[in-house]
Structure 1
Amino acid sequence: MNYKRLETFIWVATLGSFRKAAEQMHTTQPAISARISGLESELGVKLFEREGGSSPIALTAKGKELLPYVEKILYQAEELRKRTDVATAYSGTLRLGVSETIANTWLPALLTRIHEDMPNLEVEMTVDVTTNLAVGVKERSLDLGLLLGPLSEPSVVNVELCHYPLSWVASPKLDLPDRLHYLEELANWPIITYARNTKPYTEINHRFRCLDGPPARFFASTSLAACRSLAIDAVGIATLPDIMIDVDIELGKLKKIKSIWSPSDLHFTASYSDDPINPFSEMTAKMAAEVAKEYADARA
């Protein structure tokens, strides 16, 4: 029995569309149709109702009956692959979404590990804010997201990676006194922070919005590297992950600002949809957790 036909059956059943299955499997819609037709001929049953138009493809009664058996076959085949040489077992393309905090810290170590352990695996990488990465994971345009999690979705697996505190920092050029500051004092400067459609920005904006006096000015950016540069250049006061600024603090390019309030820690997960089975993502998520721990231990 053709493995690719069985895999195609799972994807069409999951996504309810020949077109989406073709996008997921990096092939054409006619190829998907041919595989399903071939599987139906091989089994001697009709698996899908093809109503046409914009209506989703629906499983027939027999298709629903056979789906759990096909899922079990693919699961067992994947378990067999795991017990072989991992370097040759995993080939194809992993669509990886990455939060910029991770991209600026231990992502290079993870990519090196992927290359060493799975040399036949190609990686298509997207660096973006968690809001967009989460949509990609849920809609399966991304195989794996390293993001601010966890994601609340029944089919999504969340593997805990790391958590990083956020600190207020500024250039010594601003000459802020070394004492505890109220948020009203910080609001005298532009607040350099995460993009508007992120959890840290929402939390920070809410706190400053509750203050008396003129509203705070926000310089929001999707690039943490840009935020760091703006803070070093004394444009304003920034909130950044400690793990990104340790060296700048040591070199005197930035100094931490004591405040009565700081944003919540950043909690990251490796999140992926496991319906249907997603072996590349499962293996990479485990690697990411190991690399994140090694990175933290090395800096402890």
Structure 2
Amino acid sequence: MNYKRLETFVWVASLGNFRKAAERLHTTQPAISARIAGLEQELGVKLFEREGGSSPIILTPKGKELLPYAEKILYQSAQLRKQADVSTTYSGVLRLGVSETIVNTWLPDFLAQLHKNMSKLNVELTVDNTSSLAEGIKERTLDLAFLMGPISEPYIVNRELCTFSLSWVASPTLELPDRLLYLEELAAWPIVTYARSTKPYIEIVQKFRELEGAPVNFFASTSLAACLSLAVNAVGISTMPNVMIKKELADGKLRRLRAMWTPSDLSFTASYSDTPYNPIAEVATSLAVASAKKYETEHLDKNN
């Protein structure tokens, strides 16, 4: 039985849409339609109800009955390849979403290991904030994401990657006192922080809203590089991952501040949908875990 037809059947059933299935399988809608028609002819049954327009594609009763068998065949095929240790035969495109903190730490090592283990695999890299990456995983426009997780959905696999601690930092030109600082003292300047939809932003805003006095100004950005630049140029006070500010601290462009409260550590996960079964994301995740642990062993203790 034709593997591509079974794979197409599973993806159309999961996404409920021929166009989305075509994008996921890197082909055209006519090719998807032809594969489904060929499978229906081969099996002698109708698998989908096609209502047309923007209506989702719906499985027929027989399609619902046969879907678990197709999923099992794809899963066992992937397991056979894994047991045969032929990971280099993995090909196609991995749509990878990454938080900027990971880009600036262990991502290069991961991509090198990925190419070494799956040399026929192409990578489409998206760097974005966690909320956008999580949405991409849920909508299956991304195959795998390294983000501030986990994603709480029953069909999403989350594996722990790494944890980065944060520090308050400011330009020495702001001349803040060299002692333990109250948040009210920090609030005299704009607070430069993560994008609005992120966990650090929400945590910081809630904490500063508890303070008495005038409202605090927040400069939120989706770019950590922009946050770093604003802090270095004395625009405001920022919280930054310790792993990203080594050079600026050593060069005297920033100084670490001691404050009464510091936001929680950033915990990252590798997250992907396992419905349908996603062998490339599974293998890539294992490589990511190894790269993250290697980085933590080699660098993290030096950054704190």
Q: Which TM bucket (shorter chain)? A: over 0.9
Q: Does the aligned pair in 1 maintain the 2:171–2:253 contact within 8 Å?
A: yes
Partner of 2:10: 10
Q: Does the aligned pair in 1 maintain the 2:162–2:293 contact within 8 Å?
A: yes
Aligned to 2:126, what secondary structure does the other structure show?
Answer: strand
Q: Does the aligned pair in 1 maintain the 2:88–2:117 contact within 8 Å?
A: no
Cα deviation for residue 82 of structure 1 reads 1.3
Aligned to 2:245, what secondary structure does the other structure show?
Answer: helix
Map 1:9-158 to 2 at 5 A: 9-158=9-158
Q: Does the aligned pair in 2 maintain the 1:86–1:117 contact within 8 Å?
A: no
Alignment partners' CA distance in 2, 1:126 and 1:13 = 26
Alignment partners' CA distance in 1, 2:216 and 2:251 = 29
Alignment partners' CA distance in 1, 2:174 and 2:130 = 31
Larger mean Cα displacement after TM superposition, 166-175 or 246-255: 246-255
For the aligned residue pairs, the C-alpha RMSD in angstroms reads 1.2
Partner of 1:181: 181
Unaligned regions of 5+ residues in structure 1, if any?
Answer: none
Provide the identity percentage: 67
Alignment partners' CA distance in 2, 1:198 and 1:253 = 27
TM-score by length of 2: 0.96
Matched letter for residue 127 of structure 1: V
Partner of 2:258: 258
Larger mean Cα displacement after TM superposition, 269-278 or 215-224: 215-224
Q: How many residues align?
A: 300
Partner of 1:282: 282
Is 2:209 aligned against 1:216? no
Matched letter for residue 77 of structure 1: S
Aligned to 1:177, what secondary structure does the other structure show?
Answer: coil
Q: Which runs of 4+ in 1 moved over 6 A?
A: none
Task: Give a deviation string over 1:5-59, Cα, whole Å, max 9, x none.
Answer: 0000001111111122112111111111110110111111111122223322111
Partner of 1:164: 164
Matched letter for residue 95 of structure 1: R
Larger mean Cα displacement after TM superposition, 170-179 or 182-191: 170-179
Matched letter for residue 136 of structure 2: G
Aligned to 1:270, what secondary structure does the other structure show?
Answer: strand
Matched letter for residue 109 of structure 2: A
Cα deviation for residue 277 of structure 1 reads 0.7
Q: Does the aligned pair in 2 maintain the 1:82–1:89 contact within 8 Å?
A: no
TM-score by length of 1: 0.97
